[in-house]
Chains A and B, each alone.
Chain A
């Protein structure tokens, strides 16, 4: 079975996920409504530059949209008894998860592209040669993170996974330099922020609007690539290991 054929079959998974999950209540709430309310709360009463606000808006949008779909797919499928049929077809678990990851990615890219147009209204000069690869790489990283999030515990209750993934997401949100720039954080908070992939996206986005950041741009890009590979492949390994528990 060629890799190309498995990739083509993963697109069938993407289409299925788009038709079924994009308009599910929790996805709309956590992926669309929530980041805008959060951004509103962040904005009110603060005198911040447009560029700073734009970076926060894009980072929150990309982060919340691309992590809204993925965590719930497998538990949802397990609950509605469609998962066994899916994995008994001629595709590998890796292909199923790659399809789910792409569904998260495309959801993120559609919404984030649309929100990125605010740069025009805010009159911000954005270096698209930096902005586009950074957003794409960040969305891949966050989408891969959802594969890891949905891997454990092997539950068929989507709310369980949503709760755990929300806990992780909020923790990352507050340590990643969105609300307080990295250079203003104490050294120990900066050390913690280094383990968050969102930190590198925010830092790289600042390059795209102001040509300077806390870390070198190449480090931001490599860190996101590293996180995306680690998240996806460790997620696949855990999903394979706990597969049996989904049936017992």
Chain B
């Protein structure tokens, strides 16, 4: 069952084309990742899907309802964590949750019970009467997610939910996202964190320069890059000359990553080079490309 259906979405800001004719759908119970570099059009897309911005052209259906005609009804069933959206720093955590509950038309008793439950879930219970002004970024983000989850929505829109967070907060948020999915919720998540996308998402879409360039499961997307392998090696003392191997080369500290389809030939060239230059091979690994490698290959190619 399709929860979100976007058809030929296009968004112009003046003459600037931010989102270029994209179409996709998100199924019930799915965690759908929307990946792309900064400025690719991710946030503009999520703002159109949540009815904050109107598309220049195209159509959005959520829960089978037209976004143009049923914005408020759709939002009643949706929780949103916008990018960079803060809770009110002059209010306590509890007051922020109460405000959200009242904006969703929840009953007073229901707001109190659900707020306390969520504050415990997000490890914020001890801080419930503390003004958000003194919260760390991780605490604010946890409260933000709690505010979005307060009305127990069927669909959650999360814009960069773990961006810039400490490890503990990021892990807690990811755990809760997984639990929400188990409870049958649908989650649409913008991220540029490939590890999050790989760990959490059932399907991902990659957007660059406002255009969708791939949409599939993380594993299937990795297969796009399966024709190439990644050879990572390190030499001691570290020395590497451009041009000794073919393919895309990245130097990462004292390691070299080579993306190539010719594993045998490339390894021989590396070994020959080490022998010729009297260098010790410290490590040499051959791996399949990660989601990040494929993403970089796709986005890099398109950028070129």
Bound Cα distance A5, B107 (Å): 12
Bound CA span A12–B53, Å: 24
Expressed in whole angstroms, the minimum distance between the Cβ of B98 and any Cβ of chain A is 8
Rounded to whole angstroms, the CA-CA distance of A16 and B47 in the bound complex is 24
Q: For the complex, is B176 an interface residue (Cβ under 8 Å from A)?
A: no
Contact B53 A244 (CB under 8 A): yes
Given A5-B105, A9-B102, A9-B105, A88 and B52 contact (CB-CB distance below 8 Å): yes
Q: Which residues of A (1-49) have their CB < 8 Å from a CB of B?
A: 1, 5, 8-9, 11-13, 15-16, 19-20
Question: Out of B13, B50, B53, B72, which one reaches A1, CB within 8 Å?
Answer: B72
Q: Is A90 an interface residue (CB 8 A)?
A: yes
Assuming the A-B contacts A1-B73, A84-B85, A247-B53, are A16 and B99 also in contact, with contact meaning beta carbons closer than 8 angstroms in the complex? yes
What 1/0 mask marks residues of chain A from 40 to 60 whose CB sits below 8 Å from any chain B CB?
A: 000000000000000000000
Selected from B53, B82, B89, the residue in CB contact (under 8 A) with A85 is: B82
* The one of A11, A12, A81, A92 that contacts B84, using a Cβ cutoff of 8 Å: A81
Contact A248:B85 (CB < 8 A) given known A88-B75, A92-B72 = no
A119 an interface residue at 8 Å Cβ cutoff?
A: no
Given contacts A80-B89, A244-B13, A248-B13, contact A85 B72 (CB under 8 A): no
Residue among B53, B84, B85, B95 having the largest count of chain A Cβ atoms under 10 Å: B85
For A84, list chain B residues within 8 Å (CB): 52, 82, 84-85
Mark A79-94 against chain B: 1 for CB-CB distance below 8 A, else 0: 0111011111111100
Q: Using a CB-CB cutoff of 8 Å, which residues 78-95 of chain B contact chain A?
A: 80, 82, 84-91, 95
Please indicate the chain A residues that have their CB under 8 angstroms from the CB of B76 in the complex.
1, 90
- When chains A and B are docked, how far (Å) is the Cα of A80 from the Cα of B147? 17
Bound: A8/B105 CA distance, A: 8
B95 touches A90 (CB 8 A): no
CB neighbours of B51 from chain A (8 A): 88
The answer on a CB contact under 8 Å between A89 and B90 is no
Interface centre among A20, A86, A88, A244 (most CB of B within 10 A): A88
A81 & B95 in contact (Cβ 8 Å cutoff): no
Given A16-B91, A82-B87, the answer on whether A247 and B52 have CB atoms closer than 8 Å is yes
- The residues of B that contact A12 with a CB separation of less than 8 Å are 99, 102-103
Interface size on A, residues (CB 8 A): 27
Task: Give the chain A neighbours of B73 by CB distance below 8 A.
Answer: 1, 90
Q: How far is the CA of A12 from the CA of B144 in the complex (A)?
A: 18
| Complex: A90 Cα to B101 Cα, angstroms | 11
A85 to chain B: which residues have CB within 8 Å?
80, 82, 85-87, 144, 147
Of chain B, the residue at the smallest CB distance from A89 is B103
Judge whether B19 is part of the interface by a CB distance below 8 angstroms. no
The reply to whether A90 and B105 form a contact with Cβ atoms under 8 Å apart is yes
Cβ contacts under 8 Å, B85 to chain A: 81-82, 84-85, 88
Contact status B50-A89, CB under 8 Å: no
Closest to A23 in B: B90
Q: Which residues of A contact B53 (CB under 8 A)?
A: 243-244, 247
B86 touches A82 (CB 8 A): yes
Interface size class of B (residues with CB under 8 A): 20 to 34
Q: Is the CB of A90 within 8 A of B99?
A: no
Closest Cβ of chain B to A15, distance in Å, is 8
Complex: how many Å from CA A248 to CA B89?
Answer: 24
Residues of B within 8 A of A244 (CB): 13, 53
Interface pair A20/B52, CB less than 8 Å apart = no
A90 to B53 Cα, complex, angstroms: 15
Q: Return chain A residues, CB-CB under 8 Å to B201.
A: none
Smallest CB gap from B151: residue in A: A90
Given contacts A1-B72, A90-B75, A90-B76, contact A81 B52 (CB under 8 A): no
Which A residue sits closest to B14, measured CB to CB? A248
Q: Quote the shortest CB–CB distance from A105 to chain B (angstroms).
A: 19
The yes or no answer to B122 lying at the interface (CB within 8 A) is no
Residue B155 lies at the interface, judged by CB distance under 8 Å to chain A: no
Docked pose: A89 CA to B51 CA in angstroms: 10
**Chain B residues closer than 8 Å to A20, beta-carbon distance:** 88, 90-91
CB of B100 within 8 A of chain A?
A: yes
| Bound: A1/B87 CA distance, A | 25
Counting chain B CB atoms within 10 Å of each CB, the highest count among A8, A12, A84, A86 belongs to A84
Contact with A81, one of B13, B86, B102, B105 (Cβ below 8 angstroms): B86
- Chain A residues within an 8 Å CB radius of B91: 16, 19-20
**Knowing that A16-B91, A91-B103, A92-B71 are A-B contacts, what are 5 other residue pairs whose CB atoms are under 8 Å apart, sorted by A's residue number?**
A1-B76, A8-B105, A80-B89, A85-B82, A89-B75
> Could you list 23 examples of A-B contacts with CB < 8 Å?
A1-B72, A5-B105, A9-B103, A11-B102, A12-B103, A13-B103, A15-B99, A15-B102, A16-B88, A20-B91, A80-B89, A81-B86, A85-B85, A85-B144, A86-B103, A88-B51, A88-B52, A88-B85, A89-B80, A90-B72, A90-B76, A91-B103, A244-B13
Interfacial residues, chain A to chain B (CB-CB below 8 A): 1, 5, 8-9, 11-13, 15-16, 19-20, 80-82, 84-92, 243-244, 247-248
Q: What 7 A-B pairs come out closest when comparing CB atoms?
A: A12-B102, A90-B75, A89-B103, A85-B85, A84-B82, A88-B80, A90-B76
